[in-house]
Amino acid sequence: MRKKLRRILPDHESVRANRWLAMFGDTLLHPRLWHLNRHSAAGAVAVGLFCGLIPGPFQMLGAAAACMIFRVNLPLALITTLYTNPFTIVPLYLIAFQLGAVVFPHAAEFVAPPDFDFAHFRDWVGAILEWMVGLGKPLAVGVLILATLLAAIGYFTVRGIYRAYLVRAWRRRQSRRKGST
């Protein structure tokens, strides 16, 4: 798995050569941000799933900041945030609202989100922000609950997959050793 991901993800030398990222210097080039093992991969998936629910274009910035704090794989966390897009964000926020409504049952009634209008994109973004603010506490708490649940599920799933892979590889090595003697 690690070999496949290494082919896809950029290495730290390509980041060092990038003129836009050079200003971050050693902070962005810390080895643990680029090292891929079971700990950094699980943490990166958790960070990406948690930060993927941040509204707007701040998902990747939040994921990058969290990666620097927790020292987990940066490219994998950034890729993981892409599970949210214009098609998935509204259903995810609906689920988040339902989770928040469990905590705050009498706080607000659900109102349908505004229709997407590409011709007036800026107005649509403003309408979406008004819609989200109008939903208030249930949405805010629900997003935190959903983000935490997704991060925990992602973390333990990746740890389980890595564990299963390592156990399988260990057993294969043992069977080869027994077969050679």
pLDDT of residue 8: 67
Domain holding 125, by residue range, is 2-180
**Residue 114: alpha-carbon gap to chain centroid:** 26
pLDDT single digits (tens) 99-156: 988 888 776 666 677 787 778 888 888 888 887 777 778 888 999 999 999 999 999 9
**How many domains in the chain?**
1
Q: What is the pLDDT of residue 116?
A: 78
What local confidence, expressed as pLDDT, does residue 23 receive?
60
Closest-CA residue to 41 (of 68, 2, 8, 85): 2
Most distant CA pair in the chain: distance in Å? 73
Q: pLDDT digits over 12-45, tens only?
A: 667 667 766 666 666 666 778 878 889 999 999 9
Can you say whether the dihedral through the CA atoms of 90, 109, 134, 147 is positive or negative? negative
Q: Over the stretch 56-97, which tens digit does the pLDDT of each residue have?
A: 778 999 999 999 899 999 889 999 999 998 899 889 988 998
d(CA 107, CA 36): 44
As a whole number of angstroms, the distance between CA 34 and CA 40 comes to 9
pLDDT score recorded for residue 16: 67
